[in-house]
Structure 1
């Protein structure tokens, strides 16, 4: 009975596999799909008879259409035999016996008898495995990251350790599909009907990438904020999606070899939020006050501060002068105090450790050309404890 079933299956499968197939992308793919098998279109608008071909055999002459933004990987018995990155229609050609077809010049003897006998040896199944897979060459969105507690890094501009909780997302790009499939994609996804998706919570390989990104955030923040080309400003990260992505990609490449071993890079990032710890918030406030005393805006602020100080001093001096003349004691008897000379009160010396006084004096000396900008920056850093 088994031999009869094998013979019937071998002949029936051979006949079905003589038809040319038309392969394309499956329906209902999510936008985050990275790798999936090409599927034959057995019917179109209710027409078509090629519905019983083997799932692991591609007949010679079959056509595979590659859409924009995708690459085509060809497999023969588990090995990658070809790759096409340009969109368009491609024709399958193989020397494997199972791919021969009477419609492509295989002849009745080669295409039917030899294939049927070969498949009979394997219980009616074709003794080969051929497959075509599409791999996305686009930026794959919605890969999220986030930290449960503060991460810390050394910040060059603040000259201190900075801590923050951060959340955001990044886009991935497959830059070497062959490396990606050979070194990273589990064999589970190299089967018909399977879709490799980086955002799939059940995808253990994708979860590994998430953990590696979270572990790379602190050194990536440090690399970005200590790069003079990026202005050494922590507050610029949220507006520089490409710049921070380059820092993050460089860190994960250095630690985990994403590009060289897996064919992956981080293309762009979007930081949704950065929640600094209390110490960092105080440091940022101090830096903002220091920035207000520098440049053209600093001159305006300094002039306003001096004017307010003069007005306040004048008001205090007037009250003190009246009290010195004895008017506040009541009656005209206080006028006798006018006959005695009254010494003018000595101006109060600014406190030696007052940072505002130090910065104000240094700013005046800078504007007068007595010191350089570097000298002023040194005084500012010392006065603010940076």
Structure 2
């Protein structure tokens, strides 16, 4: 009696599973990364007794934009499609008399009935359709609880300093390998897999990758205040560093990265401003302008000093200027001297037909070299450099003369090219 009941039940399920099915998935929300596809059941659909997790041969699977579909047959992925459209699944192990011919369908259905009888009337198979959300998953907020080291490099002033940056914003990511995501993350879920089950892990790894990404950005000479304008560069650097984790473990990549703000502590900001100011004062012209502004402010403060009297205040100001060992005039002279030397180092423009300095008929000749040596300043101090270490006056330059025969510039009494005596 039991065997006959099993045979009858198996026959009913085989007949109920003959209907071809239509699998369809509505638009997936941004909170759903993967969902199990179900056959659509219209009001007039008579296919109400079919077996669960079974796809009849010849069934249709529809794929929408922003979706990827996979078919899993008894635990193995057998079909994948990310192109929108309808697909007929004609490789199913579940026969149908409505697809592939009536005679073949009857024979295959009879063999299927015998198989189910051996399993007590059960289908003994599991076939599923899964839909993946391949759109950008947006609105993922992040924020650095602890400062991230950022290296500021300014080659113009030889500045190289490291400090901590706090930042916050939002980022979006997308699935680029649904098969890897299915194998290593979600598996054969019964309904759907939502983003809240993986967002915390992704955010933690993103913050870890921010440090080497910032190192790549700082190496390009980008200041921390310019970080919001280089969000695309940060996203590219993040993808490079997250390839080993997101890409190879989850099949996910950064789609976009937004940086709302990047701030540093007040102590670090003051430190950077001081270093930049000190570096700018290496230029004698900048140093002279800074000193002139400081002296002007000191004169205003001295004029307003009623307690000590204006005369005493100005006397103290003069003593301070004398004790400094340098004045604005010397600094401006040093800047002018440097500018003059830079101009002399550049090739001089020659008039048409005029002799070119340093060029003779036989080819280019060596330019005269300046001889380094000790010299005595007007104040009596001996020096080796280009400026006096005591008063700051520039080193006297020798008076050059041009040879009337070949046009070569000389400093001695005879021309170094043709031997003509200095006029």
Tell me, in whole angstroms, the C-alpha distance in 2 between the residues paired with 1:24 and 1:10: 28
Taking the TM superposition and a 5 Å limit, the aligned residue runs for 1:206-285 are 206-226=199-219, 228=220, 231-253=221-243, 256-285=244-273
Give the paired residue count. 328
Match of residue 348 from structure 1: 321
Tell me, in whole angstroms, the C-alpha distance in 2 between the residues paired with 1:366 and 1:117: 105
Alpha-carbon RMSD across the aligned residues, in angstroms, is 4.2
Q: Does 1:34 align with 2:44?
A: no
Instruction: Mark the CA change 1:112 to 1:262 in structure 2 (over 3 Å): closer, same or farther.
Output: same
Higher relative contact order (CA 8 A, sep 6+): 1
Q: Does 1:11 align with 2:6?
A: no
Contact 2:224–2:262 (Cα < 8 Å) also in 1: no
Farther off after superposition, 18-27 or 149-158: 149-158
Match of residue 408 from structure 2: none
Match of residue 170 from structure 1: 171
- The superposition leaves residues 108-144 of structure 1 with CA deviations (integer Å, 9 ceiling, x where unpaired) of 5335322222222223222222222222222221333
- The superposition leaves residues 220-276 of structure 1 with CA deviations (integer Å, 9 ceiling, x where unpaired) of 2222222x2xx42222222332211111222222xx343245422112112234342
Instruction: Mark the CA change 1:278 to 1:213 in structure 2 (over 3 Å): closer, same or farther.
Output: same
- The superposition leaves residues 194-234 of structure 1 with CA deviations (integer Å, 9 ceiling, x where unpaired) of 22x33x1xx2x4433232222222222222222x2xx4222
Tell me, in whole angstroms, the C-alpha distance in 2 between the residues paired with 1:349 and 1:241: 53
Match of residue 48 from structure 1: 45
Match of residue 191 from structure 1: 189
Q: TM-score, normalised by structure 2?
A: 0.64
Match of residue 55 from structure 2: 58
Taking the TM superposition and a 5 Å limit, the aligned residue runs for 1:20-31 are 20-26=20-26, 29-31=28-30
Q: TM-score, normalised by structure 1?
A: 0.69
Unaligned runs of 5+ in 1: 325-344, 373-386
Contact 1:147–1:165 (Cα < 8 Å) also in 2: yes
Tell me, in whole angstroms, the C-alpha distance in 1 between the residues paired with 2:212 and 2:311: 64
Tell me, in whole angstroms, the C-alpha distance in 1 between the residues paired with 2:123 and 2:233: 52
Instruction: Mark the CA change 1:351 to 1:79 in structure 2 (over 3 Å): closer, same or farther.
Output: farther
SS in 2 for 1:89: strand
SS in 1 for 2:257: strand
Work out which of the two has the higher radius of gyration on C-alpha atoms and give 1 or 2: 2
Structure showing the higher helix proportion among its residues: 1
Tell me, in whole angstroms, the C-alpha distance in 1 between the residues paired with 2:148 and 2:138: 24
Contact 1:246–1:267 (Cα < 8 Å) also in 2: no
Tell me, in whole angstroms, the C-alpha distance in 2 between the residues paired with 1:273 and 1:179: 34
Unaligned runs of 5+ in 2: 313-317, 344-423
